[in-house]
Amino acid sequence: MKRIRTLLQKYCAVAVINLHSSTAYTGEVAMRSIMITVILYVLVHLWKAAYSASGATAISGLTVRDTLWYLVLTETIILSKSAFSTRISEEVRDGSLAYTIMRPYNYILYHMSYSLGDSLVKLLMNFAAGALVVLLLEGPPQHFTIVMIPFLLISVILALVLDFCFEGLIGLCAFILEDVSSLQLIYNKILFILGGMLIPLDFFPGWLAALSKALPFNLVLYGPARIFVRGEISAALTILFLQCLWITVMATILFLLYRKAVKYLSINGG
Amino acid sequence: MIFNKALSELRFMFELWKMNLASALEYRANFITQSIGMLINDAIFFVFWVLFFECFKSVKGWGLQDMVLLFSIITTGFGVGLALFGNALKMAEIIAQGRLDYYLVLPRNVLIHILASRSQISAYGDILFGVLSFFFFAGPVSAEKTLLWLMASFLSGVVIVCSFSIFGCLSFFIGNATTLAGQATNALLILAVYPDTIFQGGVRFLMYTLLPAALIGALPYKAVQNMDWQSLGFLTGGALLFVLLLVVVFNMGLRRYESGSALNVNV
């Protein structure tokens, strides 16, 4: 028990150190938030025009305001998530991995804490900037209540952890391929469509919606965004359960593959 | 005299392009992977529009074929522009890190030398996507439409390269502008790849001036879709204006340029 507590303290400290380091450059982070304001400004106009052209007030149960707040959350998560696979790839190529895997911490857990610390400030800044645009141009979210805040926060953190597992699996390919940028690009594009970043899964044709909901990618973006716009506790609990389930599966695969991948590792430079 | 000088710079530019292509093809697997990766990247946006228009049919006069045509022009222009002048994306970084020194000591036009010294390999994937989408998914194709599409894409590419480079030149005036230039570049592309009719007022004005997204997307689209040579004329004027603006801004900035003691080796 004591050992677990010590371990938790160690990795929390890593997250906090990186959080502090991110807050030291708030100007830089704030400037990066310009992106989400431009994206949401464009999306507000696109979706308002689309709803207005169709004449419908709600499509698949989502009003234009729901859709826009949905997009605030998906864009916030995608722009704030950490690119763990790129870091592994860089460490393999420049040889620094030889030092980092020797240090007295678990390589995967260290990077997970590091990534979470890195993402938290970005999450706050991006959400604030995106929410401001939609709030000013369309109005506040319709179904979200204070009761849903803990569900939403936990779901966003779990989404980042699940994404970290996917990124980690891609990153491990760098032990063999060295450069994994094309794999990361494909993963991100999967998130764009099957994850529901560009368009809510509810708008998909039946077969594609069913396929997307059966795959775990939707739990990185669609899941938390759905909690945010629907405000239903039972649906939120189901999403949280599925997130935990998929994290267990993916994390187990990640740790097993990490052990195997270290054996294939060849390090250049240094 | 001026003609000979221009011809000599053109020859030099061709040599740089040949060298960039040879260098890209040397690492063939990387070339193919990056190009296919970008092709998939572009195709995902195509999928988005297919799904979007399944739901909405049309938005302010724009349908799926219109979006494909718009996208084919932008991706081809972007691809050609950055395959030939890949350093347009790196301008802010090059200036901020004092890496202009290498170009300044050589007896060549500095701006052309910087821009054409690098080719963005993934841009070949953009070109491939643009060509495929124009010929197979953007509606009926005729000889005149193809000619207009080629010219409009080329001019769109000119505006893209000039705008990216102008954003990069901010490093001359405000120090390291890498993040700001990156944000402006992304903002420009985001505004360009959506139907311009959804915007009104100040944003539309911005799209024809400071962030010339309309010159990259909407105006070339209009020229090709309506077989409108007048729009192509306006686009040509706009593109020339941006070339001129880039030359002026770059030369003004160059007078303020100071490099540090950083030692850079260009191979």
Distances (CA, A) of A11 to A14, A106, A258, B253: 5, 9, 19, 47
**Candidate from A35, A53, A192 with C-beta closest to B60:** A53
- What integer pLDDT is reported at residue A268 of this predicted model? 55
Residue with tokens 């805040």: A149
Among candidate residues B145, B138, B157, the one with its CA nearest the CA of residue B86? B157
- What integer pLDDT is reported at residue A267 of this predicted model? 57
Cβ distance of B190 and A38 shorter than 8 Å: yes
Q: Are B129 and B42 in contact (CB under 8 A)?
A: yes
Residues of B in contact with A34 (CB under 8 A): 183, 187
- What integer pLDDT is reported at residue B36 of this predicted model? 87
b/e string for A84-121 if b means 16 or more Cβ within 10 A?
Answer: bbbbbbebbeeeebeeebeeeebbbebbbbbbbbbbbb
- What integer pLDDT is reported at residue A165 of this predicted model? 93
Instruction: Say which residues have a Cβ less than 8 Å from residue A18's Cβ, sequence separation at least 6.
Output: A113, A114, A117, A118
Does this model's pTM top 0.90? My answer is no
Q: B35-59: per-residue pLDDT in tens?
A: 888 898 889 888 999 999 988 888 8
Residue with tokens 């400004």: A41
- What integer pLDDT is reported at residue A270 of this predicted model? 46
**Distance (Å) from the C-alpha of residue A107 to the closest C-alpha of chain B?**
29
Across chain B, the runs of DSSP E, i.e. the strands, are none
**Candidate from A49, A179, A193 with C-beta closest to B59:** A49
Q: Which residues of chain B have pLDDT under 50?
A: 267
**Candidate from A31, A48, A204 with C-beta closest to B179:** A31
Q: How far apart are CA A142 and CA A209, in angstroms?
A: 24
Residues of B in contact with A185 (CB under 8 A): 37, 40-41
Q: Are A171 and B20 in contact (CB under 8 A)?
A: no
**Candidate from A34, A53, A199 with C-beta closest to B183:** A34
**Distance (Å) from the C-alpha of residue B219 to the closest C-alpha of chain A?**
18
Tokens found for residue B44: 């995902």
- What integer pLDDT is reported at residue A78 of this predicted model? 93
Distances (CA, A) of A12 to A30, A121, A249, A262: 25, 15, 23, 25
Q: How far apart are CA B212 and CA A80, in angstroms?
A: 28
Residue with tokens 């890498």: B178
Cβ distance of B56 and A54 shorter than 8 Å: yes
Q: Is B258 helix (H, G, I), strand (E, B) or coil?
A: coil
- What integer pLDDT is reported at residue B265 of this predicted model? 56
b/e string for A123-136 if b means 16 or more Cβ within 10 A?
Answer: bbbbbebbbebbee
* CB atoms inside a 10 Å sphere around CB B225: 20
**Distance (Å) from the C-alpha of residue B208 to the closest C-alpha of chain A?**
16
Q: Are B59 and A50 in contact (CB under 8 A)?
A: yes
Cβ distance of B198 and A45 shorter than 8 Å: yes
**Distance (Å) from the C-alpha of residue B191 to the closest C-alpha of chain A?**
7
Q: How far apart are CA B153 and CA B150, in angstroms?
A: 5
Cβ distance of A28 and B191 shorter than 8 Å: no
Show the 3-state SS of chain A: CHHHHHHHHHHHHHHHHHHHHHHCCHHHHHHHCHHHHHHHHHHHHHHHHHHHHHCCCEECCEEHHHHHHHHHHHHHHHHHCCCHHHHHHHHHHHCCHHHHCCCCCCHHHHHHHHHHHHHHHHHHHHHHHHHHHHHHHCCCCCCCCHHHHHHHHHHHHHHHHHHHHHHHHHHHCHHHHCCCHHHHHHHHHHHHHCCCCCCCHHHCCHHHHHHHHHCHHHHCCHHHHHHHHHCCHHHHHHHHHHHHHHHHHHHHHHHHHHHHHHHHCCCCCC
Q: Are B140 and B64 in contact (CB under 8 A)?
A: no
Please calculate the CA angle B250-B255-B257 and round it to the nearest 5 degrees: 85
A-B contacts (CB, under 8 Å): 80
**Candidate from A189, A198, A208 with C-beta closest to B41:** A189
- What integer pLDDT is reported at residue B201 of this predicted model? 81
Residues of A in contact with B218 (CB under 8 A): none
On whether any CB of chain A is under 8 Å from the CB of B41, the answer is yes
pLDDT tens series, chain A, 270 aa: 777 788 778 888 888 887 777 777 777 777 778 889 989 999 999 999 999 888 888 888 899 999 999 999 999 999 999 888 888 888 877 777 777 777 777 888 888 888 888 888 889 999 999 999 999 999 999 888 889 999 999 999 999 999 999 999 998 888 777 677 778 888 888 999 999 998 999 999 999 999 999 999 999 999 999 999 988 899 999 999 999 999 999 999 999 988 887 776 655 554
**What ipTM was estimated for this complex?**
0.83
Cβ distance of A46 and B195 shorter than 8 Å: yes
Amino acid at B196: D
On whether any CB of chain A is under 8 Å from the CB of B72, the answer is no
